[in-house]
């Protein structure tokens, strides 16, 4: 091999290309997995999907000879539009729906059409880490707004938007997860949703509402999406997913967007269409079995939320605080201020327990004493055992000692 | 609705966002479709895929609970690596393979990691229009090199690269389709492939080899891919697809890339993974039935190529020239210089015949008298009937008259 004529890629990279990802390490699943927002593998509707595959391929398989239409499988678009219309009471035409390769793809497309380097994206104090990574990829920075146990504080949002505009900083998107928040496990009450929408609209900044967990309510009355409150004005771009209600491995999600945004999204979507194969199978599955499956998933999640909250109460008592989610897959645990959940992670992993440290969800690296626990994947039994092991680790760290002892144990 | 508080997206678009796509018009399939490089719907392996779906979901369905690994389904990576190793005689580790949402996605990722606004991409005189669109999206311009019936001319490539570098213009990629070229229907002989690789390597410019039709040879001896001639040096990025051998609606393709490029591609691939669902089903299908299916597809394509060439000979005689493809799906038709295939298209569509005008494949809008005919989709009978209708249209235009009469009929 004549290496003198080997291409030197170092001279060729695009200026904005990110550092390379290390793809040599192989991920091994932890024994007690509280990490990802993913479903229980034992509850996946595998035989339903297999049956739907036969049916879809027989009925509309020949369509696979074509490249998929730009906005995706019409049946799946229709299911999304009808679901939104029924759940939210806002009639939604199917051509407002874009089917994407998962919600991340939808969020990336929105970022691509709106963000330039130096732009700002408003977020909650803690938010979904992958979305932050996407905004950063397009050169934007996240700017967080005060967030309490009811979500983003509207007065703080108003104040922040006014201050930023005065400084000629350009907030382009308000990215929010109002329902079963990732990672905080909270939901924003109706009145506050309306206030957030009003503030955003007054400042002329669109809201990107990430609602991938909204279908997973197991407690309490449904609250309308911010996109529903917008009543078709187009001020809210709404992202949903089939990853949480069917499976992440499907890679199918969707975006509701007004026509002027849809045209731009399609101009940036250069992948020759979202899989008609997965889409037609998912469509045949959902049209017959969505409601039954969702009911089963919700019951399981409630029971696992109870197991998690029970195990935390038993192990930590009043030495920590945690959210009490009424849906979704996440619980946010706040430990005493002096605890560092990032350095603690190794000790937890040594006993087979994985979680995500709080700092991963803050654009500013805050939340050192916090961590996110997912109750989507692990079984009830694993939740009990795993949290027992985690609280043992915390006990060994001195978390359960009285405040006076704590400050000593810090040294 | 208070429109005073409607977001004005016009003030918010990212600077580089393309013009919106019109998504209101509904595409109606033409009666005789010679347009797209897509397979015959009657040859899609639908029952094989349904069977593979059952098997895959039963055997590895639980994996769908996880987000797919960054490089894609390991079984599918393995099939690609083995196929390349066997077909091309170059041992290829599976971790050189990235599974993508179709070949367009692979080409987009390569463009993303390498192209800045103002960069150049070297192409054949005529090339795949969608790739041109992708390069343009990243701000790059195409620069064509003289192309004859054996593909890109190596001496012209050498000359162009030298001249561009002297002018401080940056050619970042040589994009080429050496096997069953789209749209020219040609294949580059072995010796010339080696020359193109040598020239590119000497100038330090990587080759992006688009080989999505390479599996569809129905005549002649296989010629090694340029990527195979490179012998693992990493100077060639190689794109393949399952769209042409299984179905475009699957949206699965792949890229072979050296490690330093793979790490960057993965850093830009923010879609949380390529569908494990489609991938596992395709894997189960291909591992058992790939060879038999390919054999059937190749026989059908040969017979349809024969039908197309026969019908053209009957209808046009020596009044036009066309390529004689030994694989793939495309034939390039050159009509007399005065014919304008763009304006002629309406007349053809009026009799139900669709084709792609030559100018669509030239970055400079050349090829007015040329057009591309695909023989992938239409049946043998439709090819005969459709080409008869097309030659009737051409006859009415005066294409079949003698040269003297032609110049009169132009007025």
B134 touches chain A (CB under 8 A): yes
The string of pLDDT tens digits covering residues A240-269 is: 999 999 999 999 999 999 999 999 999 999
Q: Is B15 exposed, middle or buried (0-12, 13-18, 19+ CB in 10 A)?
A: exposed
Across residues A176-195, what is the average pLDDT? 98
Closest partner residue to A247 (CB to CB) among B65, B116, B267 is B65
Size of interface A-B (CB pairs under 8 A): 327
Enumerate residues 6+ apart whose C-beta is below 8 A from A299: A218
- Interface list for B 304-333 with A (CB within 8 A): none
Q: Residue A161: which of A203, A125, A129, A195 has the closest Cα?
A: A203
Domain-located, residue A24: no
CA of A86 vs chain B CAs: smallest distance (Å): 21
CA of B318 vs chain A CAs: smallest distance (Å): 34
With an 8 Å Cβ cutoff, are A62 and B42 in contact?
yes
Host domain of residue B403: 11-42+292-409
Domain-located, residue A232: yes
CA of A395 vs chain B CAs: smallest distance (Å): 31
Of A27 and A77, the one with more pLDDT: A77
- Interface list for B 103-122 with A (CB within 8 A): 104-105, 108, 112-116
B13 touches chain A (CB under 8 A): yes
Domain-located, residue B5: no
What was the pLDDT predicted at B34?
98
Domain-located, residue A20: no
Domain shared by B277 and B393, yes or no: no
SS3 A174: strand
- Cα dihedral angle (A391, A396, A400, A402), rounded to 10 degrees? -170
- Cα dihedral angle (B146, B152, B156, B159), rounded to 10 degrees? 120
Comparing A22-36, A107-121, A200-214, B326-340, the range with the smallest average pLDDT is A22-36
What was the pLDDT predicted at A394?
95
Domain-located, residue B1: no
What was the pLDDT predicted at A1?
47
Across residues B343-359, what is the average pLDDT? 97
The string of pLDDT tens digits covering residues B191-249 is: 999 999 999 999 999 999 999 999 999 999 999 999 999 998 999 999 999 999 999 99
CA of B325 vs chain A CAs: smallest distance (Å): 21
Domain shared by A303 and A244, yes or no: no
Domain shared by A322 and A405, yes or no: yes
CA of A399 vs chain B CAs: smallest distance (Å): 32
The residue from A264, A289, A314 where one domain ends is A289
Indicate the average pLDDT of chain A: 94
Does the pLDDT of residue A384 top 80, yes or no? yes
Does the pLDDT of residue A4 top 90, yes or no? no
**Preferred mutation among B272, B282, B329 to probe A, highest tally of A CBs within 10 A:** B272
pLDDT band at B296 (very low <50, low <70, confident <90, very high): very high
Tokens 């009043």 locate to A318
What was the pLDDT predicted at A407?
45
Which pair of tokens denotes residue B171?
């050619």
Chain B hits for A267, CB-CB cut-off 8 Å, are: 17-21
What is the 3-state secondary structure of B276-322?
Answer: HHHHHHHHHHHHHHHHHHHHHHHHHHHHHHHHHHHHHHHHHCCCCEE
> Scanning every residue of chain B, which has its alpha carbon at the shortest distance from the alpha carbon of A117?
B14
Which pair of tokens denotes residue A170?
């350009």
- Interface list for A 182-221 with B (CB within 8 A): 198, 201-202, 204-206
CB B280 within 8 A of CB B89: no
Of B38 and B4, the one with more pLDDT: B38
What was the pLDDT predicted at B400?
81
Domain shared by A220 and A74, yes or no: yes
What was the pLDDT predicted at B399?
86
> Scanning every residue of chain A, which has its alpha carbon at the shortest distance from the alpha carbon of B137?
A268
Chain B hits for A50, CB-CB cut-off 8 Å, are: 53-54, 57-58
Domain shared by B262 and B357, yes or no: no
Closest partner residue to A264 (CB to CB) among B17, B263, B274 is B17
Domain-located, residue B4: no
Chain B hits for A375, CB-CB cut-off 8 Å, are: none
Domain shared by A54 and A189, yes or no: yes
With an 8 Å Cβ cutoff, are B233 and A3 in contact?
yes
Domain shared by B240 and B387, yes or no: no
What was the pLDDT predicted at B409?
43
The residue from A259, A289, A319 where one domain ends is A289
Beta bridge partners of A238: A209, A256
| Alpha-carbon span A231 to A234, nearest angstrom | 8
The string of pLDDT tens digits covering residues B155-192 is: 999 999 999 989 999 899 999 999 999 999 999 999 99
Which pair of tokens denotes residue B256?
């072979």
B138 touches chain A (CB under 8 A): yes
With an 8 Å Cβ cutoff, are B115 and A206 in contact?
no
Chain A hits for B277, CB-CB cut-off 8 Å, are: 49, 247, 249-251, 278, 281
pLDDT band at B402 (very low <50, low <70, confident <90, very high): low
pLDDT band at A2 (very low <50, low <70, confident <90, very high): low
SS3 A323: coil
Across residues A402-406, what is the average pLDDT? 51
pLDDT band at B285 (very low <50, low <70, confident <90, very high): very high
Domain-located, residue A15: no
pLDDT band at A401 (very low <50, low <70, confident <90, very high): confident
With an 8 Å Cβ cutoff, are A64 and B133 in contact?
no
With an 8 Å Cβ cutoff, are A249 and B1 in contact?
no
Domain shared by B108 and B227, yes or no: yes
What was the pLDDT predicted at A410?
41
What was the pLDDT predicted at A159?
98
The string of pLDDT tens digits covering residues B48-73 is: 999 999 999 999 999 999 999 899 99
Domain-located, residue B121: yes
The string of pLDDT tens digits covering residues B59-117 is: 999 999 999 989 999 999 999 999 999 999 889 999 999 999 999 999 999 999 999 99
Domain shared by A263 and A143, yes or no: yes
Does the pLDDT of residue A389 top 60, yes or no? yes
Across residues B322-347, what is the average pLDDT? 97
Across residues B14-38, what is the average pLDDT? 91
pLDDT band at A27 (very low <50, low <70, confident <90, very high): confident
The residue from B259, B289, B319 where one domain ends is B289
Domain shared by B273 and B337, yes or no: no
ipTM of the complex: 0.95
Does the pLDDT of residue A21 top 70, yes or no? yes
Domain shared by A280 and A145, yes or no: yes
| CATH number (domain holding residue B266) | 3.40.640.10
- Cα dihedral angle (B42, B43, B49, B51), rounded to 10 degrees? 80
With an 8 Å Cβ cutoff, are A251 and B68 in contact?
yes
What was the pLDDT predicted at A411?
37
- Interface list for A 74-103 with B (CB within 8 A): 95, 101-102
What was the pLDDT predicted at A252?
98
Does the pLDDT of residue B404 top 70, yes or no? no
User: How far does CA A15 lie from the centroid of its chain?
Assistant: 29
Domain shared by B246 and B321, yes or no: no
Tokens 């006859």 locate to B395
Element (H, E) at B78: helix B74-88
| Alpha-carbon span A188 to A323, nearest angstrom | 13
CA of B125 vs chain A CAs: smallest distance (Å): 22
| CATH number (domain holding residue A403) | 3.90.1150.10
Chain A hits for B47, CB-CB cut-off 8 Å, are: 57
> Scanning every residue of chain A, which has its alpha carbon at the shortest distance from the alpha carbon of B58?
A46
**Preferred mutation among B12, B111, B194 to probe A, highest tally of A CBs within 10 A:** B12
Across residues B253-261, what is the average pLDDT? 97
Chain B hits for A18, CB-CB cut-off 8 Å, are: 264, 267-268
With an 8 Å Cβ cutoff, are B49 and A61 in contact?
yes
Indicate the average pLDDT of chain B: 94
| Alpha-carbon span B129 to A247, nearest angstrom | 35
Q: How many domains does chain B have?
A: 2
A8 touches chain B (CB under 8 A): yes
What was the pLDDT predicted at B2?
52
The string of pLDDT tens digits covering residues A322-377 is: 999 999 999 999 999 999 999 999 999 999 999 999 999 999 999 999 999 999 99
> Scanning every residue of chain B, which has its alpha carbon at the shortest distance from the alpha carbon of A251?
B275
With an 8 Å Cβ cutoff, are A38 and B65 in contact?
yes
What was the pLDDT predicted at A399?
86
């Amino acid at each position: 091999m004549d290496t003198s004529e080997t291409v030197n890629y170092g001279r060729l990279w695009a200026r904005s290309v990110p550092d390379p990802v290390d793809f040599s390490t192989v991920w091994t699943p932890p024994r007690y997995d509280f990490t990802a927002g993913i479903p229980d593998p034992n509850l996946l509707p595998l035989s339903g999907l297999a049956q739907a595959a036969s049916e879809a391929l027989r009925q509309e398989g020949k369509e696979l000879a074509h490249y998929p239409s730009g906005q995706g499988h019409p049946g799946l678009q229709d299911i999304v539009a009808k679901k939104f219309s029924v759940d939210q009471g806002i009639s939604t035409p199917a051509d407002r729906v874009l089917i994407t390769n998962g919600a991340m793809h939808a969020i990336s497309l929105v970022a691509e059409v709106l963000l330039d380097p130096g732009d700002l994206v408003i977020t909650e104090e803690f938010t979904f880490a992958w979305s932050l990574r996407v905004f950063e990829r397009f050169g934007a920075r996240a700017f967080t707004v005060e967030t309490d146990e009811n979500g983003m504080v509207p007065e703080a949002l108003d104040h922040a938007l006014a201050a930023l505009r005065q400084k000629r900083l350009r907030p382009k998107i308000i990215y929010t997860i109002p329902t079963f928040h990732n990672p905080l496990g909270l939901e924003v009450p109706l009145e506050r949703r309306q206030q957030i929408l009003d503030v955003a609209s007054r400042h002329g900044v669109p809201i990107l509402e990430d609602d991938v967990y909204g279908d997973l309510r197991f407690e309490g009355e449904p609250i309308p999406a911010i996109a529903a409150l917008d009543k078709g004005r187009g001020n809210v771009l709404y992202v949903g997913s089939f990853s949480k209600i069917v499976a992440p491995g499907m890679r199918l999600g969707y975006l509701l967007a007004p026509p002027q945004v849809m045209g731009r999204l399609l101009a940036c979507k250069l992948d020759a269409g979202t899989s008609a194969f997965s889409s037609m199978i998912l469509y045949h599955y959902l049209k017959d079995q969505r409601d039954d499956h969702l009911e089963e998933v919700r019951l399981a999640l409630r029971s696992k939320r109870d197991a998690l909250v029970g195990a935390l109460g038993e192990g930590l008592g009043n030495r920590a605080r945690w959210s009490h989610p009424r849906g979704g897959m996440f619980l946010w645990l706040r430990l005493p201020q002096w605890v560092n959940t990032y350095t603690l992670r190794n000790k937890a992993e040594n006993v087979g327990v994985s979680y995500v440290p709080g700092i991963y969800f803050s654009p500013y690296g805050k939340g050192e004493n916090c961590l996110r626990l997912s109750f989507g994947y692990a079984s009830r039994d694993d939740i009990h055992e795993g949290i027992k092991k985690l609280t043992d680790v915390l006990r060994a760290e001195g978390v359960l000692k009285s405040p006076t002892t704590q400050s000593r144990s810090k040294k």
